[in-house]
Structure 1
Amino acid sequence: MSMDHLKAAVAVAPTVNSNATDVVKWHGLLLESQAALERAEDALVAALESQPSEVDDPTMELVHRVDAAVTARDGRAMVVRWLLDPNAVGKQDLAARRLARLRGRQGPAVPTSPPPGPATTPQPGRSLAR
């Protein structure tokens, strides 16, 4: 399924498949990060073209902005890759937990008994606190 088709399906029914909704959300964030990175790179290139041999502080700030944009973009790309990979690390455990939750419990996980009653019955008119 193309991303456009997936976006359209999620727009129509966002709660039907939470995985599809997550993919669309993170893909959108990835596209925003890529656009921010491109703007930061363009600003850096323009600053470097107008610089003499040494880089000034405002240009170094642009370098840091590009670095941060690359980090954000790469992190979001990793999330999208993880969401799209059915065999990704951690998904097998997640699938097993979801399956167990869907099956429901037959009884308590640990045998239980009713809690014991109070050791002594308070007398009317007497307070236990001192």
Structure 2
Amino acid sequence: MSDDISDDIEDVVGVLTTRIEAHFGMGMDQLKATVAGAPTANRGATDVVKWHGLLAECQRGVERAEDALLAALETQPSEVDDPTMDLAHRVSAAVATRDRRALVVRWLLDSDAPGKKDLAAERLARLNRGARTGPAVQTSAPHRPAAVPPSAPSTGRAAQR
């Protein structure tokens, strides 16, 4: 993780929202509205808005799971029971999912991220394939020998009768 995220892990969504706003030069609400109005105009912006929404949704899930765990822990005696351990595992899974989504958002914002250069080159190659000047394979019919004229004597079995 980058330093700005590890320093303030409790507000992953806030840190990434700030980075998104700086990257696109507009607030999140304006970016969402822009993407909603023209979703194919900027694929990068569309992807970032989508994944930011997934990240924010996951963060709300983390908070709900943490609240449930804290409520269960307040009622526990000295030993934690199985249902409370299940809540702890749910918190852990929610945090892991949130962190994976945060990594996707960070990757989308980083133009130098591993795989981005290859991905851009692949997209460019796909676009350039449509700009060929000639066919990739021969499209004309192959040359066939001329047919035998009907007046020529046949040499098959039926001719011997």
Report the TM-score when normalising by structure 2: 0.65
Task: State the aligned residue count.
Answer: 115
Aligned pair partner of 1:66 in 58, 80, 91? 91
- Structure 2 match to 1:84: 109
- Structure 2 match to 1:45: 70
- Amino acid paired to 1:105: R
Q: CA deviation at 1:81?
A: 0.6
CA distance in 1, matches of 2:135, 2:104: 36
CA distance in 1, matches of 2:100, 2:135: 40
- Structure 2 match to 1:19: 44
Q: Give aligned-pair identity as a percent.
A: 70
- Structure 1 match to 2:60: 35
Gaps of at least 5 residues in structure 1 are 117-130
CA distance in 2, matches of 1:108, 1:80: 40
Q: Runs of at least 4 residues of structure 1 off by over 4 A?
A: 112-116
SS in 1 for 2:105: helix
Bigger Rg, structure 1 or 2? 2
Closer, same or farther: CA 108–92 of 1 in aligned 2, 3 Å: farther
Closer, same or farther: CA 56–108 of 1 in aligned 2, 3 Å: farther
- Amino acid paired to 2:48: V
